[in-house]
């Protein structure tokens, strides 16, 4: 079950800094080795990592802004800065993905045949292992903090690890009489970058337009329906606000209950939402049943 709660943004910032440092090192090595070994795929992979640096910086800024407390014109806080950061990251990624695709297509149709040095393949293998470890670290942080921005970062890390695997395969293949595999690997790299960017954009835009998972909403409804004193639910809706979830529910209760008794039911709803779903922001409106 998905759960939402207070986001430990400091843990998220640690994960983003890890990504930034890793990307700086890997992009430098990949572009340098790609140039020395004439590997279009490794150079494309390195270029991909340079954009990841920019995207990670955008996520880091978003996490820092999301830590700001509520103020007079942001009564719900600044948590959506995380989602906006994810959106910015997707724009950066797609622009680079299209550039990589363009260069790969030109290499495929070029009459010049270049077989990259095997060193490029081993660099790609090492990079894949490093990025997979970073992915696992950030995935754990994302699941712990329920941060959309960190989940986007983890997805990007995983994509980069797979990209490096594809790069290595292409370079190894070029060593065995298949030189077209190197630019083909670069083409696949570009497609994977664009696909990852689209997934991040889709999730971020869905959250920013108050889209919500219907299956999770049904689970929230079921929890409230089983609370003693709740006769029925007239309306229930929720929206994602960064790493938090905002829940609005209209319930019907026995019209003979007094104000104090009705209020106790709303308190039980708030307690159950926090205990079972880690939802801290719940607004309950009470209506007398039959009115």
* Residue 259 CB partners (closer than 8 Å, separation 6+): none
The answer to whether the CB of 269 falls within 8 A of the CB of 284 is yes
CATH code assigned to 9-208: 1.20.1510.10
Residues of the chain with CATH 1.20.1510.10: 9-208
Give per-residue pLDDT as tens, 258-276. 899 999 999 999 999 888 8
Measured CA to CA, the distance from residue 238 to residue 217 in angstroms comes to 7
Flag whether pLDDT at 5 surpasses 60: no
* pLDDT for 80: 76
Measured CA to CA, the distance from residue 65 to residue 7 in angstroms comes to 12
Please give the average per-residue pLDDT across 37-58, as a whole number: 83
Quick check: helix, strand or coil at residue 283?
A: strand
Rounded to 10°, the helix 9-37/40-66 angle is 160
Residue 60, number of CB atoms within 10 A of its CB: 21
Residues of the chain with CATH 3.30.70.1350: 214-288
The dihedral sign for the CA sequence 163, 36, 129, 173: positive
Phi and psi of 247, rounded to 5°? Answer: -120, 130
Could you tell me which of 90, 115, 69, 47 has the C-alpha nearest to residue 204?
Answer: 90
pLDDT class of 242 with cuts at 50, 70, 90? low
Please give the average per-residue pLDDT across 182-211, as a whole number: 81
**How does the average pLDDT of the chain come out, rounded?**
82
Flag whether pLDDT at 3 surpasses 60: no
Global pTM reads: 0.65
Q: Rounded to the nearest 10 degrees, how much is the dihedral formed by the CA atoms of 9, 83, 54, 51? A: 130
The answer to whether the CB of 65 falls within 8 A of the CB of 86 is no
CATH class of 214-288: alpha beta
């Amino acid at each position: 079950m998905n759960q939402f709660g207070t986001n430990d943004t400091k843990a998220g910032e640690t994960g983003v800094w890890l990504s930034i440092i890793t990307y700086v090192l890997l992009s430098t090595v990949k572009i340098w080795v790609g140039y020395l070994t004439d590997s279009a795929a490794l150079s494309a992979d390195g270029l991909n990592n340079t954009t990841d640096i920019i995207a990670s910086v955008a996520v880091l800024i978003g996490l820092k802004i999301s830590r700001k407390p509520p103020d007079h014109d942001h009564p719900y806080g600044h948590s959506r800065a995380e989602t906006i950061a994810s959106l910015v990251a997707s724009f950066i990624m797609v622009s680079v993905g299209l550039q990589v695709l363009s260069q790969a297509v030109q290499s495929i149709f070029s009459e010049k045949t270049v077989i990259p040095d095997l060193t490029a393949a081993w660099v790609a293998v090492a990079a894949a292992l490093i990025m997979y470890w970073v992915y696992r670290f950030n995935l754990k942080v994302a699941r712990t903090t329920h941060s959309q921005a960190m989940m986007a970062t983890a997805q990007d890390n995983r994509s980069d690890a797979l990209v490096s695997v594809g790069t290595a395969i292409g370079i190894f293949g070029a060593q065995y009489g298949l030189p077209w595999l190197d630019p083909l690997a670069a083409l696949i790299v570009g497609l994977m970058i664009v696909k990852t960017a689209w997934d991040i954009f889709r999730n971020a835009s869905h959250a920013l337009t108050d889209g919500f998972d219907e299956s999770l909403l049904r689970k929230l409804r079921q929890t409230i329906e089983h609370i003693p004193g709740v006769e029925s639910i007239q309306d229930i809706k929720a929206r994602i606000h960064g790493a938090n979830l905002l829940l609005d529910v209209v319930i019907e209760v026995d019209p003979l209950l007094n104000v104090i008794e009705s209020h106790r039911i709303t308190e039980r709803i708030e307690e159950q939402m926090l205990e079972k779903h880690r939802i801290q922001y719940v607004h309950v409106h009470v209506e007398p049943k039959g009115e």
